[in-house]
Each structure stands twice: as structure tokens, then as C-alpha cells.
Amino acid sequence: MLLDRQAIGDLALGAAFLGSGGGGDPYYATLLAEAELERRGPFEVIGLDALADDALVVPCGWIGAPTVSVEKLPNGREAIDGLRRLEEIMGRRIDAVIPIEIGGSNGLAPLFAAARLGIPVLDCDGMGRAFPESQMAIFNIRGLSACPSILTDASGSLSLIETDDNLAHERLARALSVAVGGIAHLVEYPLTGREAKDHAIHGTITAARDVGAAIRTARGRSEDPFAAMFAALEATGLYPHAGVLFDGKITDIERETKDGFSVGRVVFESFDGASRMELDFQNENLMARRDGAVVAMVPDILTVMDRETADSITTERLKYGQRAKVVGAAAPAILREERALEFVGPRAFGYAQDYIPIEEIGAWLKP
């Protein structure tokens, strides 16, 4: 599969939704990808079945607070420098890269690095959405090591992280990202081709592109972009249930950058004033309550979207008065397994709440 300019735009739209409010706004990543497209032509994305079992596959993406990324732009070399150093450490060439998460800016992050290295991107990722912490990747859940890992930043600094404990790796990488200004690029979880085939979440780049294409096409035809998006999500096979959980305007927002995360809460009220929703976030949206009752929770996807255009609004761009729909979608089945929920379920984020699938709660608004 080759990604041209239109496909890049579609991927950005779809990845923004799958980010569940996080992963970083894809606007700047889209500009970088389009510039690289002009220089080198379409990006190559291949399926995992085209990969040799002994290949070296490397996930990568950005770590830090999305609020910082709005003002602190990258220099464009962070990913290249990190991947090149990993090649030196591993003593071999990297064969392919993947997004550590398909959500937001990180869904596009490997594209221009892969183009400059002359290698493909694999049609998969490590989270099936975006999560705020590195140990929430499926590779850690399945017992693989994050290290050796390379952290780079816009000033040109480079740090090697080596530890046997993936939670310690997250804490070290997070502290380093804070130390270099709040945002950094992370190369982590180097994989063999066999490990990528066995553990990565397959088909997520295609899924994000198809979701974005459905939104774009519906808007061009003056059709309902939400209905088109829900149909496209179901068609992916990864996100079989989706719908609107709230329709209204933002009446209050609390947000701060703390310990390398953007954390807070946003409040919505319906236009008739009869209903209210509260949404908690830590980079990504985690828990939604409508009129005091929980209607969706992590790891299911919760995204705030412009009610007219279906553009996703990341947590760092939420503002008082925005008119929006809160949309929920089922997470990939792999994230709902008992072992996975220990890392990405509500209790992993400090909630005294067992996970209930979004479709079992069934709190969709009627079309």
C-alpha cells in the first residue's frame, strides 16, 4: 500500500479519532509527512505477512505532554537520530518501523523517518489507539522488553535507556522528557519480525485511513460524517461498536501539565440544559459520566469531535464554548483480555471500577 497526499490526510483524520483525545494533534505531523512526500514520493506501508521472521522491527513515537507539543516543535531529526543509534547498538539495519500507537500525531510519526531511512512502515501498531504510558503497549502486556530504548529531543540530546523493568523504563523516559522540556521522541520495544506478527495489533494504519476517508467523503457529499465514520469503524473489524454519547457544548474545563502529562476534566452541557457530561483525561480521555452515571471507560475509545465537521478535538485543544459530540467506540478485542485490562483498564488509572464494555453499557444517544 502506498500513501499519497489524500491518504495522508485521511490517516490523520482517522488517527486523531483513534487517539481518544491523545497521541498529539496530527496537524504538524501531517505537514512533515506532506513535505517528505514532495521530496520522496508516496510512503510504503506493508502487511506483516511480507516480513521475514528474523527482521528487525522498531516501534517509535512521541512521549510527553500534548500541551507542550503545541508550542515546542520538533527539529525533524529526532526519530532519525534515535533509530540510527539503535542500529549501532543492535549491530544491524532496521528493516521496518511501526507506530507505538495509532492515535493522533503518533499514528503518522514513523512515516517520514521510514522514508528517510528507505524502509517501509508496517500496517500495525502497539496499542490499537493511544495510551498515556509506555508500559501500556501490547508488547509489554505480552512480556516483551522495551529496551534498549533511545530518547531524543529537539535540542539534539540523546539518551540510552536500558532496564529489565518496563515500568521503570516508562518512569525514566517520562522524567527525561520532562527534563528536556516536556516532549521527546522515543524509540522502544525493538522486535523480531516473528514478535511483530505474533503481538502487534494488525491492520490499524489501514483502519485509520479508512475511517478518515469515510469522514472526508461524507463531508464532500454533504452527508452525515458521523454515520459514515461509524460504518467505517465497524467495517474494520477492530472497532465493532461506536456511537454518540453526548451532544452539547463545553461549559467548564480544568487542565494542567503535571509530571509529563496533560491531566484534567472537561464538562459538557446539552443545548437544552437538561443533561451534563464529565470527561476525565490523562493525555487521553479515560472515563465519561453522563448525569452521574458512567457511560464509557478506558480502554474503550472516547473522543470529543466537532459536531458539524467530525474533526477530532485533542485534549490540549479543548476550549470553553466548543460545540461538540462525545463519541465512544469499542477498543480492539486484544485490549479487553483479562491480562491486558491489568495494564489499560480503569483500575490501572486509579479508578475503583471494573471494566464494562461500552456496548454492554449501551448508553448511545438515538440518531
pLDDT tens by residue, 109-137: 999 889 989 999 999 999 999 999 999 99
Contact 229, 328 (CB under 8 A): no
pLDDT for res 140: 98
Domains assigned to the chain: 2-202 (3.40.1610.10), 241-361 (2.40.390.10)
- Mean pLDDT confidence for 355-362: 98
pLDDT for res 331: 98
Q: What is the DSSP string of 2-66?
A: EE-HHHHHHHHHHHHHHTTT-S--THHHHHHHHHHHHHH-SEEEE-GGGS-TT-EEEEEEEEE-H
Cell numbers standing for residue 99:
507506530
Let me know how long the chain is: 367
pLDDT for res 213: 98
Supply the pTM of this predicted model.
0.95
- Mean pLDDT confidence for 89-116: 94
Contact 157, 177 (CB under 8 A): no
The mean pLDDT value of the chain amounts to: 95
pLDDT for res 77: 87
Residue 270 has pLDDT above 90, yes or no: yes
> What are the distances in angstroms from CA 338 to CA 20, 172, 333, 354?
21, 27, 11, 11
- Any residues with CB less than 8 A from the CB of 29 and at least 6 apart, and which? 12, 105, 108, 109
- Any residues with CB less than 8 A from the CB of 297 and at least 6 apart, and which? 286, 287, 288, 345, 346, 351, 353, 355, 356, 358
- Mean pLDDT confidence for 320-326: 98
pLDDT for res 210: 98
- Any residues with CB less than 8 A from the CB of 223 and at least 6 apart, and which? none
Q: How far is the C-alpha of 70 from the C-alpha of 181, rounded, in Å?
A: 12
Q: How far is the C-alpha of 267 from the C-alpha of 248, rounded, in Å?
A: 10
pLDDT for res 67: 66
Residue 212 has pLDDT above 80, yes or no: yes
Q: Higher confidence at residue 32 or residue 67?
A: 32
Looking up cell 521527546 gives 184
Residue 259 has pLDDT above 90, yes or no: no
Residue 273's CB: how many other CB atoms inside 10 A? 9
Cell numbers standing for residue 175:
522524567
In degrees, to the nearest 5, what angle opens at C-alpha 181 toward C-alphas 264 and 263?
5
- Mean pLDDT confidence for 290-307: 98
pLDDT for res 366: 85
Cell numbers standing for residue 183:
516532549
Strand partners, 306: 324
Residue 346 banded pLDDT, cuts 50, 70, 90: very high
pLDDT for res 69: 63
Contact 334, 138 (CB under 8 A): yes
Residue 146 banded pLDDT, cuts 50, 70, 90: very high
Per-residue pLDDT reduced to its tens digit, 14-55: 999 999 999 988 888 888 888 888 888 999 999 999 999 999
